[in-house]
Chains A and B, each alone.
Chain A
Amino acid sequence: MDKTPQILEAFRDFFHYGRKEHLRKAYIKLSSLSDSGSDPQSIDWDLEEFTFNRLFIGPMAPLAPAVASVYLDPEGLIQGDVTAEIRTFYESIGLRIDEIGSEPEDSLAYEFDACRHLLLLASKVPEAAEAYAAFIKEHIALWVPEFSARAMEHCQESVAVKDVLMLLSEWVENETGNTTQDKEKK
């Protein structure tokens, strides 16, 4: 069985809630799906939460905001063209966030949720696979590596956040390769 939807769920949950219990749960899930990672008992989850917030949430200016616009918009504007494109894309696949305009749709967690949605849909709607591949290749792959590298520069003390960022980079790399191969096969 393809583990990818579960991996996507785990990535999504890791980045969405920002509290140690969610970080821990998502980390355990990712570790088991990828056969890697450290013993969650040995990890200082408070420290992971502090690191997570320093990198992605705040209240200090986050060191590596998990929003595509920051990396892709020519001026780094959130809720600019990049967010609008992603919002439109979600619309085309039948999704939306709770309250339009309250948060950027191109946040990492939402993008993983959209990926997961497409993969699940792909078994019923072949075009969803194409949409998934395009989303990874033409969007996710353009910003997540830079985001991940930026975050990695600031998480020396972390175990879980660092592991997840590495898994994320590998996953994007693999997924980009896979989707390209899939296309070539066709």
Chain B
Amino acid sequence: MKKELDKTDKAATCPFSRRGFLKGMVAAGVLASIPAGILRANAWERIQYEGEYDIFRNACPRNCYDTCSIKSYVRNGVLEFIEGAQESTFTDGALCVKGYAYPRRVYSPDRIKYPMKQIGRGTGNWKRISWDEALTEIAEKIIEIKKKDGSLLGMALDKYSGNFGITHYGVEGMMSSLGYTSRFVGTPCWPAGIDAQNFDMGNMWCNDPEDFVKAKHIIVWGGNPAWNSVHTMKFIYEAQERGAKLVVIDPLLTQTAAKADLYVRVKTSQDGVLALGMARHIVDEKLYDAEFVEKYSKGFEDFVSYLKDNVSVEWAAEQSGVPAELLRQIAEEYAKAEPGTIWAGYGLQRHMNGGANVRAIDALAAMTGNIGKEGGGVRYGHLQTWGFNYNAMVQKQPEGSVGYLGKDKIVSEFTAEQEGGAKYADRTININKLAESILTTAEPPIRLLWVACKNPFGQDFDRPKLQKAFEKLEMVVVVDQFFNETVQNADIVLPSTTLFEEYTVNVSYWHYWLSINEKAIPEQYEARSDLQIGAMLSKKMNELESGSCTFPQIMDTKIWMEKEFNEGIYKYFGIKNWQDLRSGPKKAKLPSSASWHDRKFSTPSGKYEFSSDLATEYGHTKLPEHKVRRKAYDKFRVLTPHTQFGLHSQFVNIDYMEDFNKEPFVYINPIAAKAKNIADGDMVKVFNKIGNVTVKAKLTDNVAEDVILMYEAWFRKGDYNVQNLVDDESSDMGSYKTGAPGVAIHDQFADIAKA
């Protein structure tokens, strides 16, 4: 019979522990006479479990603007609580709702604890295996592939940003250390915008977000920092306190929009049209910065001609859904602000015209002279602080390795190109076409897929196709902390450590702080870091076939972390060595809070390029012209942005998050719902050419009548997955700087009906 415990029982869980039953006896050495069990005899003299906390420095490695600096409090080997580091004026002592739940995540009973093997992919029949067994099986498969194909191109890596600790590029290093392999490259996140900014300015480089306080006018465009960059909001609020106006331009009335002085609803992916309309009005009113465009830009005259010939305010208003009067108002207010700043979010570039959208917005900032100004700029992201050694990543292929004879070069937005000069190369494949590529790649086909720092079933596109693709694979190895749909489709799962169980170092693509991440607690159960897994695999490979893997067999993650630092990093952050970071995170020594403060741009001309020859080399228009958005292929537009209580599939499964976010919903406008006879709380089916999702409906006019909204998330209970509705159509840009175009995530369409 189930025993119901009341609170009194629970409080009295273990009162006997205070009695100190046996101290005298044990001290007399009686213990030695008891046969050993699985617990070991304690060193009796040692007094443990008392005293103050050990404090460690950690850094949240999630793919998030804020990359929080964390202080962790550990007692008796247990992480009791964490807080934001007060030394960082960005983190400022506070974490987000997800971050505060970290101890629950570390100690969740749901963590993957041991290497396990699934007997029949997708059956749910799992066996616990030892690390040695797991690595032997994987190593034997690697050797078999090399024998069969004469190369290791049949082994592929699918890894992205699930853990941004710099040493985690050791996963790529592990692959290189085995030979020339297939690599899924590119990014699903932000590539179109990166290319756009590179064409316009020669780099993606944003102002210090802490200088939002200096802005007199702020446009948050296509982003929702109130959910996804909560630490930046305090600087925006401060600017508002000082008199700045906050305008939010977004197809959705987001939480950030709710905090704005003005919310402007734009038609999805018509951001570029809106920006061009604003630019036209600014030209008409001669509100542009004549000095900037003359001295620091190239092609402004051509841009003006383009606007005059092709763009009218009325046309832009009609196309963007923003009334002409309002369009003129926001254009004027922005142009007159001294300074005005734009935050270009990642949502607005996840389109077939996404890069064009960003280029149009960049142009708006440039023509008003806001680029290079403190409190100004067009903020997208930066990689100024990422100058590490990438020691873990740069590994040499074993002697005699054979690879791809094509000209593929691995390009990544975060790291310098891998130099080789070798005859052979890795085979690169667009990360955003994972399913299609697994199905179609041949000579050799992809036989073994290694997944790390990523949950492709939760995040990649066209889930039904991905399911088929996985069926084609001979072996799938997934390294993860929690069970999810990708693990469900794996043969072997290897348990990975959390940030508190390893050393690494982290920086942000948004703020300018540097934090070390110390190992605060032991690895849980048999979890190992990506680096340790590489080291163990290397040992096993060499046992089975001497010289078959060059990855250093270093198990101490601290050693790996130390090897990432260099003089450049020390100088940039004004520290003598990495140990200085033990006393807290450090901020880069910036000559100005503004990017491009000297207005020396990194373009071929050294100027801001309204007219970019480089863009034409990559198949785009020279000028930031209007690009027609994707044609609707179904009745409603489906938007699948990020959720508040998770980051992709991370955190959503943690019980503290479930308290707030129990189940998924589809959000639909009441007028559209009425036409479909859908009431609030009805179970509905959302369906399109890709697949379908059955989910509960919520009615809200936060979304437009032609839009349905479903947050991208993974719930451990149920099979909700928005990737059943998202195809893998490419965005316009991304190939230049990230190796592959992005994905038109928000150019998706579906119909909806009562389930």
Tell me if B76 and A94 are in contact (CB < 8 A): no
Write out the residue numbers on chain A whose beta carbons fall within 8 Å of the beta carbon of B21. Answer: 92-93, 127-128, 130-131
Write out the residue numbers on chain B whose beta carbons fall within 8 Å of the beta carbon of A58. Answer: 110-114, 116, 126, 483
Tell me if B39 and A96 are in contact (CB < 8 A): yes
Tell me if B2 and A149 are in contact (CB < 8 A): yes
Segment with Cβ contacts to B, from A28-36, A45-53, A160-168, A178-186: A45-53
Tell me if A83 and B78 are in contact (CB < 8 A): yes
> How large, as a class, is the contact surface on chain A?
35 or more
Query: B64 to chain A: closest CB distance in Å?
Result: 25
A77-B107, A86-B17 known; A145-B34 Cβ under 8 A: no
A66 to B323, CA, bound (A): 62
Query: B33 to chain A: closest CB distance in Å?
Result: 7
A98 to B526, CA, bound (A): 13
A88-B17, A100-B76 known; A61-B716 Cβ under 8 A: yes
B422: Cβ under 8 A from any A Cβ: no
B35: Cβ under 8 A from any A Cβ: yes
A88 to B2, CA, bound (A): 28
Residue ID in chain A nearest B655 by CB atoms: A76
Tell me if A127 and B25 are in contact (CB < 8 A): yes
A67-B109, A70-B109 known; A128-B22 Cβ under 8 A: yes
Residues of B84-124 contacting chain A, CB below 8 A: 103-104, 106-114, 116, 119, 124
Residue ID in chain B nearest A93 by CB atoms: B22
A78-B107, A85-B17 known; A19-B38 Cβ under 8 A: no
Write out the residue numbers on chain A whose beta carbons fall within 8 Å of the beta carbon of B48. Answer: 91, 100
Tell me if B13 and A89 are in contact (CB < 8 A): no
Query: B490 to chain A: closest CB distance in Å?
Result: 9
Residues of B211-228 contacting chain A, CB below 8 A: none
Query: A127 to chain B: closest CB distance in Å?
Result: 5
A59-B493, A74-B10, A82-B13 known; A120-B34 Cβ under 8 A: yes
Cross-chain contact of B126 among A53, A82, A99, A128 (Cβ < 8 A):
A53
Tell me if B3 and A142 are in contact (CB < 8 A): yes
A12 to B22, CA, bound (A): 23
Cross-chain contact of A146 among B5, B22, B524 (Cβ < 8 A):
B5
Tell me if A18 and B128 are in contact (CB < 8 A): yes
- Name 26 interchain pairs, CB-CB below 8 A, sorted by A: A58-B110, A58-B112, A60-B124, A60-B126, A61-B653, A62-B110, A71-B5, A72-B13, A76-B109, A77-B103, A77-B107, A88-B49, A89-B16, A91-B48, A92-B23, A96-B41, A97-B39, A99-B77, A101-B77, A101-B78, A113-B37, A121-B31, A124-B30, A142-B13, A145-B1, A146-B2
Residues in chain A within 8 A of chain B (CB atoms) = 9, 12, 16, 18-20, 46, 49-50, 53-54, 57-62, 65, 67-68, 70-74, 76-104, 109-110, 113-114, 116-117, 120-121, 124-125, 127-128, 130-131, 134-135, 138-139, 141-143, 145-146, 149-150
Residues in chain B within 8 A of chain A (CB atoms) = 1-3, 5, 7, 9-10, 12-23, 25-26, 30-31, 33-35, 37-42, 44, 48-49, 74, 76-79, 103-104, 106-114, 116, 119, 124-128, 482-483, 487, 493, 495, 521-525, 653, 655, 716
Besides the known contacts A59-B116, A80-B107, A103-B524, 17 further A-B residue pairs in the complex with CB atoms under 8 A apart: A53-B116, A57-B113, A57-B114, A57-B116, A58-B110, A58-B112, A59-B112, A61-B482, A92-B23, A95-B39, A102-B77, A113-B37, A121-B22, A121-B25, A128-B25, A134-B16, A142-B9
